[in-house]
Chains A and B, each alone.
Chain A
Amino acid sequence: MRKFLASTVAASALALMLGMASARAEDTIDPNAKQGGAITITYKDDVATLDPAIGYDWQNWSMIKSLFDGLMDYEPGTTTLKPDLAESYEISPDGKTFTFKLRHGVKFHNGREMIADDVKYSLDRVTNPKTQSPGAGFFGSIKGYDDVAAGKAETLSGVTVVDPYTVKFELTRPDATFLHVMAINFSHVVPKEEVEKYGADFGKHPVGTGAFKLAEWTLGQRIVFERNADYWHKGLPHLDKITFEIGQEPIVALLRLQKGEIDVPGDGIPPAKFQEVMADPEQKARVVEGGQLHTGYVTMNTTMAPFDNVKVRQAVNMALNKARIIQIINGRAVPANQPLPPSMPGYDKEYKGYPYDVAKAKALLAEAGHPDGFETQLFVMNTDPNPRIAQAIQQDLAAIGIKASIQSLAQANVIAAGGDKAGAPMIWSGGMAWIADFPDPSNFYGPILGCAGAVPGGWNWSWYCNKDLDAKAAEADSIVDPAKAGERDKMWSGIYEKVMEDAPWAPVFNEQRFTMKSARMGGADNLYVDPVHIPINYDNVYVKDVQ
């Protein structure tokens, strides 16, 4: 796993250095892939919407990616950016102007050609407060965003249609994450006429440029995707049809997979069955494991005594027996020593972090003036396995004299306590932890470790605010030149190492994703645990039993 991740990071850095100017998309087709066939995938929860401006769920994230396209995308199964609807792009030397050349002849599912006006319309729509998009905030660096967000303008002044195949973005500040923002679902291109035809019900009648078209949607039961024969990316998708069966409990889905009735249980392996599956060689052979852009951590409120003392926070970091905590979730994670997860660019694999050292932790506590420890509270979300994890943390803390009482509450209450400066001394982030929206190191800083998040109702539950680091973060994000991506990632590694010196968090683990597939499914394993096309890259998987 580690090897794969390292090579991904290297490949991504390399690709960035090469400038990614031309369409290399054709290279990514698996030569062994077979054309045709149908598969069945299950999900427990309803698919709320297939509107790219609104959908933000586990189930619909990659469905939307298969129905729609953005200017940018990622190499299948990786975090490497590549142009998608864009054929090429140019970044101005000051990093504030991005010009995209669009691919010719790309057609929406209704047969009309996609042009630059559609790109502009889609962005005006997603940022318009009337759309109520949960992703509107991602476009904050585009000129004119504030006016649109405040309802003072209908259109983003920073987005210009130069000609039908050229669209120009002007930003208020250099933004190294902008290419990622152009790959996120919220920026995907929609046809105006269809949006206006269906109004608020567009999410139930999606029309995009993607590899699949919506063929059927029986509310609460079934969604059927059909291959888009006119898809601009020749050779994709491989499958003719995907049926999503909705409302299936993960345990039931697993039983059906064992009987050969379905191909992929979309919600993965249910925790209660994990050991049973891994103990059975036949089932284990069908398990796919992958990293995800997730970190689970304990926050310590740096404004509350005794956690305002860095030695206390460092002691907590040394007190946690992460290997034992991971056992509680059946080993479905790797120990974490820094905020970034291993599959994220900028992750420093040389960094050792704080060792598990009870004696040293005790000594640090004594130095901080708490030789006998102290009493505190640990907040945790009340769904399994989080209270059990909190108990393990409680025991580890007790070993160095810290008596933490566990406050096990509903998710909304824990979030409320974290957003209150005097609310929670410690929080275990499980169930609410940060999973990155796009694979960029900056995604783990701003709202959860930066000063901007240390506000009432914010997500920086450590209330950690280091103005120097904020300045460094802004500096790193202004390095827009793809050729300097490696330098930028290094800067971010440095920022997170500084964060760890101040120890506002005790990083605990990075959750691994475990899913299964039927024996007939083909394609590289990383398509089934795609870090971006979450959970599955539908466009690139195939079945082996056709023809």
Chain B
Amino acid sequence: MIAYLGRRLIQSALILLGVSLITFALLYLLPADPVRQIAGRSATPQTVENIRQQLGLDQPFIVQYWHYLTKLLSGDLGRSYIQRSEVTELIVSRLPASLLLMLGAILCELLIGLTMGLVAAVKRGTATDQTLMVASFVGVSAPQFVVGLLLLYVFAVRLGWFPIGGYGTWRHLVLPSLTMGILGAGWYARMMRSSMIDVLRQDYMRTARAKGLTRGAILFRHALPNAILPVIAMIGIDIGIFMGGIVVVESVFGWPGIGQLAWQAIQRVDIPIIMGVTLVSAFAIVLGNLLADIVAPFIDPRIKLR
């Protein structure tokens, strides 16, 4: 276990290093010039050169990357080109909002997805099953931007149940969580359904039925715990999907998380922020996968860590 963990940690560090190198290289190759963005259109060529020099952007790629890396190892993500603030401060101030949204989204997708999957499995082959599976398909394929605006329009503008965007109370959290959760719910419904069907076919299910247990007891005491575990183990992997989703969902709902920060930074070629958010996201994804892998054997004893 320790050896496995050690190996995985080294792997994770290498992945993060790779992500930093690739992102840095891509941003370096970008045809847009961040210095021109900072300097504005009224800048003289001298101002442009001064700024380029001060930011070290006149240095060769490898020197720039080395500077970034050495600072990164001491925990310094640099200063934003546009906002001029510490990137760490900007990310830390926005991280709680994104984590909260992620929690809300996980709750939504599990609640909706598992329920749908369970019902579909039990009603397998019926119209209910088919309807639920079509719904899950729609959930998986609907663009989050559209879902978000639709939910906003119906539940906030028309019905007035929730505030129109913003941040602060649990009521603000509902619609963005739902928007993010619907995508995952579709996946979970499908996985839960097949996992449940699988379990229901098992011999011990037949035994349970033969013992004369009620239908409810069979489903909730014997089938559900077995079917749900492999599904739950997927949450760690979900983090990657969430990281993509928050950029869109946070923009639609005015949710002050790192997704919004990333989106604005991309538009303004604010390289230190883009790098910072990418690294934090990559870290979260690597960590999520690592946790999922470590937890897996506890959930399903057939899996062994090597």
A: which residues have CB within 8 A of B?
42, 45-46, 48-49, 51, 54, 56, 129-130, 132, 134-138, 140, 149-151, 200-201, 203-204, 218-221, 245-249, 251-252, 255-256, 258-259, 261, 410-413, 415-416, 437, 447, 457, 459
Q: Which residues of B contact A252 (CB under 8 A)?
A: 152, 164-165, 252-254
Residue of B nearest to A256 (CB): B164
Residue of B nearest to A251 (CB): B149
Q: Would you call A203 and B50 a contact (CB within 8 A)?
A: no
| B11 CB within 8 Å of chain A | no
Q: Which of A129, A200, A220 contacts B94 (CB 8 A)?
A: A220
Q: Which residues of A contact B84 (CB under 8 A)?
A: 48-49, 51, 54, 200-201, 203
Q: Would you call A129 and B41 a contact (CB within 8 A)?
A: no
A-B contacts besides A135-B42, A137-B47, A220-B93, 9 pairs, CB < 8 Å: A46-B83, A129-B51, A134-B40, A135-B40, A136-B43, A200-B85, A247-B256, A249-B251, A255-B152
9 closest residue pairs by CB, A with B = A134-B40, A412-B32, A220-B256, A129-B50, A219-B93, A247-B254, A248-B254, A221-B256, A252-B165
Q: Which residues of A contact B33 (CB under 8 A)?
A: 412
Q: Would you call B31 and A447 a contact (CB within 8 A)?
A: no
Q: Which residues of A contact B89 (CB under 8 A)?
A: 219
| B260 CB within 8 Å of chain A | yes
Q: Would you call A255 and B164 a contact (CB within 8 A)?
A: yes
Query: Of B39, B42, B251, B261, which is in contact with the most chain A CB atoms at under 10 Å from its CB?
Result: B42
Nearest CB of A to B294, in Å: 33
Nearest CB of B to A40, in Å: 11
Given A134-B42, A149-B44, A412-B32, check contact A201 B164 (CB 8 Å): no
Report the Cα distance A401→B30, complex, angstroms.
37
Q: Which residues of A contact B264 (CB under 8 A)?
A: 45-46
Q: Which residues of B contact A457 (CB under 8 A)?
A: 45
Report the Cα distance A51→B80, complex, angstroms.
14
Nearest CB of A to B30, in Å: 8
Q: Would you call A247 and B44 a contact (CB within 8 A)?
A: no
Q: Would you call A134 and B38 a contact (CB within 8 A)?
A: yes
Nearest CB of B to A181, in Å: 11
Nearest CB of B to A230, in Å: 28
| B240 CB within 8 Å of chain A | no
Q: Would you call A129 and B85 a contact (CB within 8 A)?
A: no
Q: Which residues of B contact A138 (CB under 8 A)?
A: 42
Q: Would you call A219 and B47 a contact (CB within 8 A)?
A: no
Q: What is the 8 Å Cβ interface bit string for chain B, positions 126-156, against chain A (1 contact, 0 not)?
A: 0000000000000000000000010011001
Q: Would you call B54 and A129 a contact (CB within 8 A)?
A: yes
Q: Would you call B90 and A219 a contact (CB within 8 A)?
A: yes
Nearest CB of A to B259, in Å: 10
Within 8 A of A (CB), among B226-284: 250-257, 260-261, 264, 269
Q: Would you call B165 and A130 a contact (CB within 8 A)?
A: no
Given A149-B46, A459-B41, check contact A201 B261 (CB 8 Å): no
Nearest CB of A to B59, in Å: 17
| B28 CB within 8 Å of chain A | no
5 contacts between A and B (CB under 8 A): A251-B149, A256-B164, A410-B31, A411-B32, A447-B41
Nearest CB of B to A80, in Å: 23
Residue of B nearest to A184 (CB): B42
Q: Which residues of B contact A54 (CB under 8 A)?
A: 84
Q: Would you call B255 and A413 a contact (CB within 8 A)?
A: no
Q: Which residues of B contact A203 (CB under 8 A)?
A: 83-85
Q: Would you call B47 and A149 a contact (CB within 8 A)?
A: yes
Residue of A nearest to B269 (CB): A412
| B167 CB within 8 Å of chain A | yes
**How many cross-chain pairs have Cβ atoms below 8 Å apart between A and B?**
128
Q: Would you call B85 and A201 a contact (CB within 8 A)?
A: yes
On chain B, the number of residues with a Cβ less than 8 Å from chain A's Cβ atoms is 50
| B82 CB within 8 Å of chain A | yes
Report the Cα distance A247→B269, complex, angstroms.
18
Q: Would you call A249 and B83 a contact (CB within 8 A)?
A: no
Q: Which residues of A contact B253 (CB under 8 A)?
A: 252
Residue of B nearest to A42 (CB): B254
Q: Would you call B31 and A416 a contact (CB within 8 A)?
A: yes
| B222 CB within 8 Å of chain A | no
Given A129-B47, A220-B94, check contact A259 B164 (CB 8 Å): yes
B: which residues have CB within 8 A of A?
30-33, 36, 38-47, 50-51, 54, 79-80, 82-85, 89-90, 93-94, 97, 149, 152-153, 156-157, 164-167, 250-257, 260-261, 264, 269
Q: Which of B44, B50, B165 contacts A256 (CB 8 A)?
A: B165
Q: Would you call B51 and A255 a contact (CB within 8 A)?
A: no
Q: Which residues of B contact A204 (CB under 8 A)?
A: 85
Q: Which residues of B contact A56 (CB under 8 A)?
A: 40
Nearest CB of B to A60, in Å: 10
Nearest CB of A to B248, in Å: 11
Given A46-B264, A410-B32, check contact A255 B94 (CB 8 Å): no
Nearest CB of A to B11, in Å: 33
Report the Cα distance A135→B156, complex, angstroms.
43
Q: Would you call B166 and A137 a contact (CB within 8 A)?
A: no
Q: Would you call A137 and B44 a contact (CB within 8 A)?
A: yes
Nearest CB of B to A419, in Å: 10
Report the Cα distance A258→B157, complex, angstroms.
9
Residue of B nearest to A204 (CB): B85
Report the Cα distance A203→B86, complex, angstroms.
12
Q: Which residues of A contact B260 (CB under 8 A)?
A: 46, 220, 247
Nearest CB of B to A126, in Å: 11
Given A132-B51, A136-B47, check contact A221 B38 (CB 8 Å): no
Report the Cα distance A406→B253, complex, angstroms.
35
Q: Which residues of A contact B250 (CB under 8 A)?
A: 247
Nearest CB of A to B125, in Å: 43
Report the Cα distance A339→B46, complex, angstroms.
28
Q: Which of A42, A137, A200 contacts B43 (CB 8 A)?
A: A137
Nearest CB of B to A140, in Å: 7
Q: Which residues of A contact B166 (CB under 8 A)?
A: 245, 248
Nearest CB of A to B174, in Å: 15
Report the Cα distance A247→B167, complex, angstroms.
10
Q: Which residues of A contact B152 (CB under 8 A)?
A: 252, 255
Report the Cα distance A140→B31, complex, angstroms.
29
Q: Which residues of A contact B39 (CB under 8 A)?
A: 132, 134
Report the Cα distance A82→B97, complex, angstroms.
45
Q: Which residues of B contact A150 (CB under 8 A)?
A: 46
Nearest CB of A to B96, in Å: 11
Residue of B nearest to A140 (CB): B44
Q: Which residues of B contact A412 (CB under 8 A)?
A: 30-33, 36, 269
Residue of A nearest to B79 (CB): A200
Report the Cα distance A427→B169, complex, angstroms.
48
Residue of A nearest to B53 (CB): A129
Nearest CB of A to B31, in Å: 5
Report the Cα distance A249→B84, complex, angstroms.
24
Residue of A nearest to B145 (CB): A249
Residue of B nearest to A434 (CB): B41
Residue of B nearest to A432 (CB): B41
Q: Which of A136, A245, A248, A413 contacts B31 (CB 8 A)?
A: A413
Nearest CB of A to B47, in Å: 5
Q: Which of B36, B156, B261 contacts A46 (CB 8 A)?
A: B261
Report the Cα distance A46→B269, complex, angstroms.
14
Residue of B nearest to A200 (CB): B84
Q: Which residues of A contact B85 (CB under 8 A)?
A: 49, 200-201, 203-204
Query: Of B41, B54, B90, B149, which is in contact with the most chain A CB atoms at under 10 Å from its CB?
Result: B41
Q: Which residues of A contact B157 (CB under 8 A)?
A: 255, 258-259
Nearest CB of A to B84, in Å: 6
Given A134-B43, A221-B256, check contact A249 B165 (CB 8 Å): yes
Report the Cα distance A258→B42, complex, angstroms.
38
Report the Cα distance A150→B152, complex, angstroms.
53
